[in-house]
């Protein structure tokens, strides 16, 4: 039997064909007829059946026992316990006493995306955290301050560009990020085949850099300086070309003045990028009719991520490559999240709330996750005493995971909506496991909004869920009803209303309604508009066309203009200027630690699958031979990597793919903590990068964790034998 659906394991939106015999997945391949991916899949997609059948995947609720173990319980008991304990903590400690953390997989799950919003509203706490503040928050901040909406994020029109400049991104491994683009190798090859260039700036010669036209090392944390120098040349050489946005921008003179002090010659020693490279590239960007400058995770998770993301948007705008074919454009998705967010008053906010202990800025109702441990540990009004996690593993994915690990153990109550007993959920008093992708319906409501082409695709369930299983949205809406109703004089009425609404307004019905009022819905034709019925009849998805110009109509600023010089961002430039001397003279003996991604191990869930972890160990520290020689380190040695927050030990791999002065350790490992039920992962534990990152090191502007360019010292321990591998 064949089944068509989208793979949900990353942002690429790849169409896959799964074959089954009875209840077993027997094969997974790319869908050659898919409207977007055209047959491409990566190795992760082949593991969909492995995850579905994984014996470690939880299928019934688990309750912590008095002895510290777990026992299975029924759903009514579990949900009743979760609701009553959350309400109990809220009544004793106030609304801020309960916190919520949403992990990255939430955005890849229609039910979890919708259900978590409802649950958050019902809970009513400002202590909300998510993977946003260790990922794309600076990009959202640029969108909010420049265009008036946090979700109006620009996307590279990679299929039509002739010059693609990439800062801190590795799309050959990620298949795009805030740039859903399956088959990036083909897309990059096509740029070169039409005579174009692909230019990569990264402290590591990544998989993408290896196939690019050119690669330039850049010192971690200095991307904003490089982009300011590019802007300096654009202004100094008279290369400003605003195009159709000429009458729709403000702040051009302010940006011109800011860039004056940042000539390529002034920044070269700090960034490691020569003035000649910057000057040639600035002129090429301005003189190329179709060019896009794109930055991603590497330019977000650093101490000047807010400035770097803003300046990249400005560079595209002033060279005529914003909202222009072949440049950075805005999508027209079937479900208009931007319009919906505006309707619900969720265009964004910045700095309206601050964390209790440190005073770190909040963004759109969320606080930086780097502050979560201290909010749990520090007594006083608003101390977090209960936590709900949804599809996340922050002990491995957020800075100073060891501190958070200790803090979670001190909570009065913790409930995790998660299919695994992992490094984070082992601290939960209750684990509520949802169905897996092949047992539920799905539409990538968020990711279609950031794809390089407008498409739509519906995924029906492949298998019936078991009688003891619940979908994410069912769990979340049930909990929402329980925490909304308790303690109110209208308890029975409110709870009944919430339960009825949850049954009537299912994700599928809501999606149908949103598509009908969307850009391809009823306004086009009462009969030919995009509906669920039409989507379900299109197993390979629907192509809705190339990206189109959307500005100025799509702007949500009060004056309907692009704000090139938001005051909050302009005010942060002096902080960057003051750091130049530090970058020019790094501390003796220190290396700057960066993460790295690998195609087979992007998702830590994949570490529990033999298919994904077999072969040579991937959790190695990559060092430049020059840095290794200076420390008496040879290939295969075990070394300690020590930072302010702690130390880990890993085997060394020597490679000139990392910039001298830089060390690279992959993200997502560290499965050596007791009390988990991930047998394959535990046998391939590795070490956690976030055991040595620093929760005190944030982008002071926006609160994003500084996870790249972490100062560390590396020292030899002993050779690693073949047996140790």
pLDDT of residue 547: 97
Evaluate whether residue 350 is within a structural domain: no
**Average pLDDT estimate for 375-387:** 97
Confidence of residue 725 (pLDDT cuts 50, 70, 90): very low
What is the CATH classification number for the domain harbouring 81? 3.40.50.740
| Backbone phi, psi, residue 627, to 5° | -70, -35
pLDDT of residue 527: 46
Evaluate whether residue 306 is within a structural domain: yes
**What is the C-alpha to C-alpha distance for residues 420 and 677, in angstroms, rounded to an integer?**
7
CA 144 to chain centre: 17
**What is the C-alpha to C-alpha distance for residues 168 and 206, in angstroms, rounded to an integer?**
10
What is the CATH classification number for the domain harbouring 267? 3.40.228.10
Shared domain for 43 and 81, answered yes or no, is no
Residue with the bigger pLDDT between 601 and 618: it is 618
- Nearest alpha-carbon partner for 15 in 4, 27, 1: 4
Shared domain for 178 and 278, answered yes or no, is yes
Pick the last residue of a domain from 53, 70, 88.
53
Neighbours of 677 (CB within 10 A): 18
**What is the C-alpha to C-alpha distance for residues 160 and 546, in angstroms, rounded to an integer?**
10
| pLDDT at 321 exceeding the cut of 70 | yes
Q: Is 254 exposed, middle or buried (0-12, 13-18, 19+ CB in 10 A)?
A: middle
| pLDDT at 400 exceeding the cut of 90 | yes
| pLDDT at 254 exceeding the cut of 70 | yes
Return the sign of the alpha-carbon dihedral for residues 240, 281, 162, 448.
negative
Confidence of residue 339 (pLDDT cuts 50, 70, 90): confident
Shared domain for 288 and 328, answered yes or no, is yes
Length of the chain: 725
What is the CATH classification number for the domain harbouring 692? 2.40.40.20
Evaluate whether residue 354 is within a structural domain: no
pLDDT of residue 524: 53
Shared domain for 111 and 152, answered yes or no, is no
The CB-based long-range contact list for 624-630 (8 Å cut-off, 24+ gap) reads 624/654, 624/655, 624/656, 624/658, 624/659, 624/660, 624/661, 624/662, 625/654, 625/655, 625/656, 626/660, 627/591, 627/660, 627/661, 627/663, 627/714, 628/652, 628/654
Shared domain for 325 and 372, answered yes or no, is no
**Average pLDDT estimate for 5-25:** 94
For residue 392, give both structure tokens.
């996340």
Shared domain for 195 and 163, answered yes or no, is yes
Whether 417 and 432 have beta carbons less than 8 Å apart is answered as yes
Evaluate whether residue 678 is within a structural domain: yes
**Average pLDDT estimate for 304-331:** 98
Helix H or strand E encompassing 372: helix 372-377
pLDDT of residue 710: 97
For residue 397, cis peptide bond before it (omega within 30 degrees of 0): no
Shared domain for 35 and 79, answered yes or no, is no
Model confidence pLDDT, tens digit, residues 75-133: 999 999 999 999 999 999 999 999 999 999 998 899 999 899 889 988 989 899 999 99
Shared domain for 613 and 496, answered yes or no, is no
Shared domain for 119 and 143, answered yes or no, is no
Neighbours of 534 (CB within 10 A): 15
Confidence of residue 526 (pLDDT cuts 50, 70, 90): very low
Strand 361-363 to strand 350-354: parallel, antiparallel, or no bridges (unpaired)?
antiparallel
Coil, helix or strand for 356?
Answer: coil
Evaluate whether residue 552 is within a structural domain: no
Confidence of residue 597 (pLDDT cuts 50, 70, 90): confident
**What is the C-alpha to C-alpha distance for residues 281 and 263, in angstroms, rounded to an integer?**
14
Shared domain for 297 and 315, answered yes or no, is yes
Angle at 371 between CA 370 and CA 373, to 5 degrees: 95
Evaluate whether residue 92 is within a structural domain: yes
Evaluate whether residue 193 is within a structural domain: yes
pLDDT of residue 485: 60
Shared domain for 500 and 374, answered yes or no, is yes
pLDDT of residue 723: 38
What is the CATH classification number for the domain harbouring 16? 3.30.200.210
Shared domain for 118 and 219, answered yes or no, is no
Could you list the beta-strand ranges (E) of 1-136.
2-6, 15-21, 24-30, 62-64, 70-72, 98-102, 128-130
Residue with the bigger pLDDT between 118 and 648: it is 648
Evaluate whether residue 425 is within a structural domain: yes
Q: Is 284 exposed, middle or buried (0-12, 13-18, 19+ CB in 10 A)?
A: middle
Q: What's the domain count of the chain?
A: 4
Domain interval for residue 696: 586-719
| pLDDT at 344 exceeding the cut of 90 | no
């Amino acid at each position: 039997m064949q089944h068509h659906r989208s793979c949900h394991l990353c942002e690429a939106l790849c169409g896959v064909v799964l074959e089954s015999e009875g209840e077993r997945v027997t094969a997974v391949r790319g869908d050659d007829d898919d409207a977007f991916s055209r047959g491409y899949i990566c190795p992760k997609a082949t593991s969909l059946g492995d995850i579905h059948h994984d014996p470690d995947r939880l299928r019934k609720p688990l309750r912590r026992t008095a002895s510290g173990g777990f026992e299975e319980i029924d759903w009514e008991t579990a949900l009743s316990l979760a609701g009553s304990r959350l309400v109990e903590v809220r009544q004793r400690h106030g609304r801020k006493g309960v916190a919520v953390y949403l992990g990255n997989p939430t955005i890849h799950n229609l039910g979890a995306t919708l259900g978590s919003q409802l649950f958050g509203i019902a809970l009513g706490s400002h202590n909300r955290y998510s993977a946003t503040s260790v990922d794309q928050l600076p990009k959202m901040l640029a969108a909010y301050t420049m265009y008036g909406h946090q979700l109006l994020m620009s996307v590279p029109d990679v299929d039509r560009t002739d010059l693609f400049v990439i800062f801190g991104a590795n799309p050959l491994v990620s298949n795009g990020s805030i740039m859903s683009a399956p088959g990036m190798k083909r897309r990059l090859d096509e740029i070169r085949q039409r005579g174009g260039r692909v230019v990569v700036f990264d402290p590591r010669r990544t998989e993408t850099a290896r196939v690019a036209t050119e690669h330039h090392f850049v010192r971690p944390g200095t991307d904003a300086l490089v982009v300011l120098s590019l802007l300096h040349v654009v202004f100094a050489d008279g290369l400003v070309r605003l195009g159709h946005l000429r009458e729709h921008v403000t702040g051009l003179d302010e940006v011109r003045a800011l860039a004056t002090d940042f000539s390529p010659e002034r920044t070269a020693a700090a960034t490691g990028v020569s003035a000649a490279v910057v000057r040639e590239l600035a002129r090429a960007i301005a003189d190329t009719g179709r060019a896009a400058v794109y930055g991603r995770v590497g330019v977000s998770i650093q101490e000047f991520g807010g400035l770097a993301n803003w300046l990249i948007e400005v560079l595209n705008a002033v060279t005529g490559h914003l909202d222009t074919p072949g440049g950075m454009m805005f999508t027209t998705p079937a479900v208009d999240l931007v319009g919906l967010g505006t309707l619900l008053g969720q265009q964004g906010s910045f700095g309206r709330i601050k964390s209790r202990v440190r005073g770190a800025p909040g963004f759109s109702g969320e606080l930086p996750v780097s502050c979560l441990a201290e909010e749990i540990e520090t007594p006083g009004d608003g101390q977090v005493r209960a936590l709900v996690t949804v599809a996340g593993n922050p002990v491995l994915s957020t800075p100073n995971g060891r501190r958070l690990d200790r803090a979670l153990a001190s909570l009065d109550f913790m409930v995790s909506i998660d299919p695994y007993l992992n490094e984070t959920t082992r601290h939960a008093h209750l684990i509520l496991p949802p169905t897996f992708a092949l047992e539920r319906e799905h539409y990538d409501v968020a990711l279609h909004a950031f794809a390089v082409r407008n498409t739509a695709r519906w995924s029906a369930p492949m298998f019936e869920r078991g009688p003891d299983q619940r979908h994410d949205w069912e769990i979340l809406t049930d909990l929402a009803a329980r925490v909304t109703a308790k303690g109110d004089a209208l308890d029975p009425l409110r709870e009944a209303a919430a339960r009825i609404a949850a049954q009537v307004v299912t994700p599928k019905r809501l999606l149908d309604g949103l598509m009908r009022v969307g850009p391809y819905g009823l306004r086009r034709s009462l009969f030919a508009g995009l509906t669920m019925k039409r989507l379900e009849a299109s197993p390979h998805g629907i192509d809705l066309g190339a990206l189109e110009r959307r500005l100025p109509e799509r702007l949500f600023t009060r004056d309907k203009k692009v704000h090139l010089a938001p005051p909050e961002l302009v005010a942060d430039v002096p902080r960057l200027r003051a750091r130049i001397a530090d970058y020019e003279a790094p501390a003796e003996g220190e290396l700057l630690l960066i993460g790295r991604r690998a195609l087979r191990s992007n998702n830590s869930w994949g570490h529990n699958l033999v298919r994904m972890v077999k072969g040579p160990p991937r959790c190695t520290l990559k060092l430049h031979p020059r840095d290794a020689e200076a420390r008496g380190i040879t290939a295969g040695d075990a070394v300690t990597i020590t930072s302010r927050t702690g130390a880990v030990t890993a085997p060394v791999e020597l490679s000139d793919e990392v910039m001298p002065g830089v060390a690279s350790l992959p993200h997502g490992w560290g499965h050596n903590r007791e009390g988990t039920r991930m047998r394959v992962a535990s046998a391939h534990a590795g070490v956690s990068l976030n055991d040595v990152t620093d929760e005190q090191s944030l982008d002071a502007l926006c609160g994003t964790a500084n996870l790249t360019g972490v100062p560390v010292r590396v020292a030899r321990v002993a050779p690693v034998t073949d047996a140790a591998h």
